[in-house]
Amino acid sequence: MLYFRRQLLLNLLKLSDICILFAAMFSAFWLSVHQADYVALNKLLSLRIRVIDFIGFLSITILWHITFNNLQLYRSRRLDSGHDEWKDILKATSIGTAIITLVSFIIKNTLTTPQFVIFFWGLSTIFTLFFRKAMRYILKKVRIHGRNLRFVLIVGTNQRAYDYADMLEKKKELGYRVIGYLDENIHLPTEEVNLIGTIKDLPSILKNHIVDEVVITLPVKSYYEEIQKIVQKAEEQGIIIRHLSHIFDTKVAQPSTEQFGNFTVLTMTPSAQEGWRYMAKRAIDITLGSVLIIATSPLMAVAVIAIKLSSPGPVFFNQARVGYNKRIFNLFKFRTMVVGAEKLQGELEEQNEMDGPVFKIKDDPRIFKVGRWLRKWSIDELPQLFNVIKGDMSLVGPRPLPVRDYSGFRKDWQRRRFSVLPGITCTWQINGRNDISFEDWMKMDMEYIDNWKLSRDLKILFKTIPAVIKGKGAA
């Protein structure tokens, strides 16, 4: 859900800029037509639109968005001062106004008068500044009340580390919470430092704590090798890395710099999964998820009755699963095993047919007869559609694993699968599921994350249907 909120905010900013473009153009046209009265407005609305005008308007819209994007007005500015954003907005609206003037000259649009250009530049700048200011105010209030938080691990116990943490503490409206410090020893003792481990403990800390960002404050000259290892470990698991001003060699993460007070901060984001495509992905999740809930409700009703008649106990089985950035959520399923099945798993460990930390056996004695039928056709997975609507999951993404399985992970690069929302189906489901080795499964998840496209999600959804019908690899 946290991931969706971030994407929602980003795409709201993009949509607002397009709406502001339309509003500013309409208002500027209105004001520039002699007198701002209803007669002028009627004249404006009654104008015939040529094909070339439509093409020009479409070109202006696209170039307006590209201008704002190139000036980095859509990157996270949580650490930026408002003044820097305002300067960039002024640059963007000025360039955008020049683009409109040029396009209007090319298509010979007579409405683009000098008065229009002045009105448009002023209105678009004021509207954009006002909206961004309002958004900043709302987000500050939300974060002060403990929502939309990011949890930070600081590597280093020097004065720079304490100054950075102190600035985060003073600016609660930014929504950052420091979970602790990491260092070989406390180089600069203070009463408030919470040293939770050494640099060697980083893998276990990332494994067992909610960490959204790792901030490195160590001096590069003395700790270059250690810092590179820290960057690699955090990058492997899809965690944002910040360092005070130096760039490192990364394989997946995309670096960008931000100014926060007196600090120049380097941010390395390990995943390129962002922007309007992810907003579209979430829209598909909600729309298609809702349709599927309605469409499969008769089947789910039959499943409820069948479970009730065939096995004593609850209809649903809720299990703690590891989700986005290791946030724990309750996954919903139809119960297919006898009550207390998890307690019996220890007795069956020797029969496990899967390699790696996951547990699966083909003829699991804990599964009752109707439950086996529900599993074969993946009907037991249908309640997860409610997890999708709730925001814990997506329709397509790496499968969420139980806490027990996650605890058995031995390779840090595999944990990068938790840097995106888990899903009901993914490449693993359509390629044989339990017939695939754990190592190949994890590689499939990494390949999906690194090469994600919205069109690919749709293909996976379509391919899931025949995979379910065939029941290949189901257990």
pLDDT digits (tens, 9 = 90+) for 49-83: 566 767 777 888 888 888 888 887 877 777 766 67
Q: Among 99-103, 212-216, 274-278, which range has the highest average pLDDT?
A: 212-216
Q: Are strands 254-260 and 195-197 parallel, antiparallel or unpaired?
A: unpaired
Residue 68, number of CB atoms within 10 A of its CB:
24
Range of the domain at 194: 150-269
Classify residue 358: in a domain, yes or no: yes
**Which tens digit of pLDDT belongs to each residue from 1-17?**
555 666 777 778 888 88
What's the pLDDT at 154?
A: 92
Classify residue 113: in a domain, yes or no: yes
Classify residue 186: in a domain, yes or no: yes
The answer to whether 212 and 150 have CB atoms below 8 angstroms apart is yes
Q: What is the rounded average pLDDT of the residues 415-443?
A: 85
What's the pLDDT at 349?
A: 77
In this predicted structure, the answer to whether residue 356 has a pLDDT above a threshold of 90 is no
Q: What angle do CA 324, 420, 71 make, to 5 degrees?
A: 120
Q: What percent of the chain has pLDDT over 70?
A: 85
Q: Among 46-55, 145-154, 466-475, which range has the highest average pLDDT?
A: 145-154
118, 144, 170: which is the final residue of a domain?
144
Q: What is the rounded average pLDDT of the residues 429-447?
A: 83
Residue 330's Cβ-count burial label (10 Å; 0-12, 13-18, 19+) is exposed
Same-domain pairing of 429 and 290 = yes
Q: Which of 149-163, 179-193, 411-425 has the lowest mean pLDDT?
A: 179-193
Q: What percent of the chain has pLDDT over 90?
A: 20
What's the pLDDT at 102?
A: 84
Same-domain pairing of 230 and 257 = yes
What's the pLDDT at 401?
A: 92
In this predicted structure, the answer to whether residue 36 has a pLDDT above a threshold of 50 is no
CA distance 457 to 96: 34
Q: What is the rounded average pLDDT of the residues 88-104?
A: 86
Same-domain pairing of 257 and 303 = no
99, 127, 144: which is the final residue of a domain?
144
Same-domain pairing of 264 and 283 = no
Same-domain pairing of 312 and 429 = yes
Q: What is the rounded average pLDDT of the residues 291-311?
A: 93
Dihedral angle over CA of 369, 370, 373, 377, nearest 10: -150
CA distance 182 to 390: 35
The answer to whether 384 and 333 have CB atoms below 8 angstroms apart is yes
Closest CA to 385 of 299, 304, 294, 323: 294
Closest CA to 406 of 317, 318, 328, 316: 328
Q: Provide the pLDDT confidence category of residue 111 given band limits of 50, 70 and 90.
A: low
What's the pLDDT at 4?
A: 62
What's the pLDDT at 314?
A: 92
Classify residue 77: in a domain, yes or no: yes
What's the pLDDT at 305?
A: 93
Tokens of 179: 């979970």
Q: Provide the pLDDT confidence category of residue 39 given band limits of 50, 70 and 90.
A: very low
* Single-letter amino acid, residue 139: L
What CA–CA distances, in Å, run from 158 to 68, 108, 218, 385?
38, 63, 8, 48
Classify residue 46: in a domain, yes or no: yes
Residue 112's Cβ-count burial label (10 Å; 0-12, 13-18, 19+) is buried
In this predicted structure, the answer to whether residue 387 has a pLDDT above a threshold of 90 is yes
Same-domain pairing of 323 and 432 = yes
Same-domain pairing of 86 and 227 = no
In this predicted structure, the answer to whether residue 383 has a pLDDT above a threshold of 90 is yes
Dihedral angle over CA of 234, 235, 237, 239, nearest 10: 70
What's the pLDDT at 189?
A: 76
Classify residue 475: in a domain, yes or no: no
Q: What is the rounded average pLDDT of the residues 16-29?
A: 87
Same-domain pairing of 7 and 108 = yes
Q: Provide the pLDDT confidence category of residue 272 given band limits of 50, 70 and 90.
A: low
What's the pLDDT at 331?
A: 95
What's the pLDDT at 35?
A: 47
Same-domain pairing of 244 and 313 = no
Residue 463, number of CB atoms within 10 A of its CB:
15
Tokens of 239: 């965690």
Q: What is the rounded average pLDDT of the residues 85-90?
A: 85
Closest CA to 286 of 386, 211, 406: 386
Same-domain pairing of 393 and 296 = yes
Same-domain pairing of 424 and 341 = yes
More confident residue, 474 or 149: 149
103, 124, 144: which is the final residue of a domain?
144
Count up the domains in the chain and report the number: 3
The answer to whether 273 and 449 have CB atoms below 8 angstroms apart is yes
Residue 325, number of CB atoms within 10 A of its CB:
22
Q: Provide the pLDDT confidence category of residue 138 given band limits of 50, 70 and 90.
A: confident
What's the pLDDT at 431?
A: 80
In this predicted structure, the answer to whether residue 38 has a pLDDT above a threshold of 50 is no
Residue 338, number of CB atoms within 10 A of its CB:
15
Please give the mean pLDDT across all residues of the chain: 82
Q: Provide the pLDDT confidence category of residue 318 given band limits of 50, 70 and 90.
A: very high
Classify residue 246: in a domain, yes or no: yes
**Which tens digit of pLDDT belongs to each residue from 216-243?**
988 887 888 888 888 888 888 888 888 8
What CA–CA distances, in Å, run from 65 to 55, 83, 283?
16, 21, 21
What's the pLDDT at 434?
A: 65
For 358-368, b where at least 16 C-beta lie within 10 A, e where not — what string?
bbebeebebbb
Q: Which of 108-117, 302-311, 371-380, 458-467 has the lowest mean pLDDT?
A: 108-117
Same-domain pairing of 203 and 258 = yes
In this predicted structure, the answer to whether residue 46 has a pLDDT above a threshold of 60 is no
CA distance 306 to 335: 11
Instruction: Residue 158: give its domain's CATH number.
Output: 3.40.50.720
Q: Among 28-32, 54-58, 76-80, 163-167, which range has the highest average pLDDT?
A: 163-167
Q: Output the 3-class SS for the chain.
A: CHHHHHHHHHHHHHHHHHHHHHHHHHHHHHHHCCCCCHHHHHHHHCCCCCHHHHHHHHHHHHHHHHHHHHCCCCCCCCCCCHHHHHHHHHHHHHHHHHHHHHHHHHHCCCCCCHHHHHHHHHHHHHHHHHHHHHHHHHHHHHHHCCCCCEEEEEECCCHHHHHHHHHHHHCHHHCEEEEEEECCCCCCCCCCCCEEECHHHHHHHHHHCCCCEEEECCCHHHHHHHHHHHHHHHHHCCCEEEECCCCCCCCCCEEEEEEECCEEEEEEECCCCCCHHHHHHHHHHHHHHHHHHHHHHHHHHHHHHHHHHHCCCCCEEEEEEECHHHCEEEEEEECCECCCHHHHHHHHHHHCCCCCCCCCCCCCCCECHHHHHHHHCCHHHCCHHHHHHHCCCEEECCCCEEHHHHCCCCCHHHHHHHHCCCEEECHHHHCCHHHCCHHHHHHHHHHHHHCCCHHHHHHHHHHHHHHHHHCCCCC
